[in-house]
Amino acid sequence: MPTVTVVQQVMKANDQIAAQNQKTLDAHQTVAVNIMASPGAGKTSLLMLTVETLRGKLRIGAIEGDTASQVDADKVAAGGTPVVQINTGGGCRLDANMVRPALEQLPLDEIDLLLIENVGNLVCPAGMALGQHVDIVIASVPEGDDKPYKYPGIFTAVDAVVINKIDLLPYLEFDVAAFRALIEGLNPKARIFEVSCTTGQGFEEWTNWLTELCAG
């Protein structure tokens, strides 16, 4: 099937560039984390509070992926974090070729941890190699606890799942135990964190994990 062949070649080309990206990151001893989630789940909020929590402990840089605008990069830059915005021009995910020039613009020698905010959705970014060392997905309480049923691909493909907005648990129906059981069924190796970017709850455990990743 010619169409399948073309798709496979595109994926192969992406994987080759992703491997080069990872080589570049490794040469600078920079660990890259690909942050995926629905629009509004809290990717930028998690990134910014992670920077604050780890200030003086880890040097963090960021790549912001959006279909358009630089509002997220502006917010992140205001906190003093080196950041590059990538606009995909409507594309629903980052790819390795987009990340490549962004890496060239970042001072990787001064970055221990690179947080890559992917385009907001739970379908396209899953399984796309960028050069990242670790993949995470954020699931936020207002989205409901059934998302792993509907988007199993992304929940299966990650190293960690972050449940965000747990400060809203008293007001919304979200069964944390049922959600955890779903993840454990789909992806038993995934770490699960419960956090609130509003109150800071859970950030010690989350940032300890990131620190361990950077320690190798």
Ligand X SMILES: Nc1nc2c(ncn2[C@@H]2O[C@H](COP(=O)(O)OP(=O)(O)OP(=O)(O)O)[C@@H](O)[C@H]2O)c(=O)[nH]1
Q: Which two tokens stand for residue 172?
A: 């919304």
From the list ligand X, Mg ion, none, which binds 168 (C-beta under 5 to 8 Å, kind-based)?
A: ligand X
Among 18, 25, 41, 108, binds ligand X (CB under 6 A): 41
Q: What is the spatial distance between Cα 25 and Cα 42, in angstroms, rounded to a whole number?
A: 25
Please, what is the minimum distance in Å from the beta carbon of residue 116 to ligand X? 12
- Please give the residues from 90 up to 119 whose contact with ligand X meets the rule CB under 6 A: none
Q: Which CB atom, from 142 or from 152, has the smaller least distance to ligand X?
A: 142
Among 161, 165, 203, 213, binds ligand X (CB under 6 A): 165
From the list ligand X, Mg ion, none, which binds 39 (C-beta under 5 to 8 Å, kind-based)?
A: ligand X
Give the DSSP per-residue string, the chain: -HHHHHHHHHHHHHHHHHHHHHHHHHHTT-EEEEEEESTTSSHHHHHHHHHHHTTTT--EEEEEEESS--HHHHHHHHTT--EEEEE-TT-SS--HHHHHHHHHHS-GGG-SEEEEE--S-SSTTTT--SS-SEEEEEEEGGG-TTHHHH-HHHHHS-SEEEEE-GGGTTTS---HHHHHHHHHHH-TT-EEEE--TTT-TTHHHHHHHHHHHHH-
- Please give the residues from 34 up to 73 whose contact with Mg ion meets the rule CB under 5 A: 43-44, 72
Among 61, 82, 120, 148, binds ligand X (CB under 6 A): 120
44 binds ligand X (CB under 6 A): yes
Determine the interface stretch with ligand X among 1-9, 24-32, 40-48, 205-213 (rule: CB under 6 A). Answer: 40-48
Kindly list the residues in this chain that would bind Mg ion in the complex (CB under 5 A): 43-44, 72
Kindly list the residues in this chain that would bind ligand X in the complex (CB under 6 A): 37, 39-45, 72, 120, 164-165, 167-168, 196-198
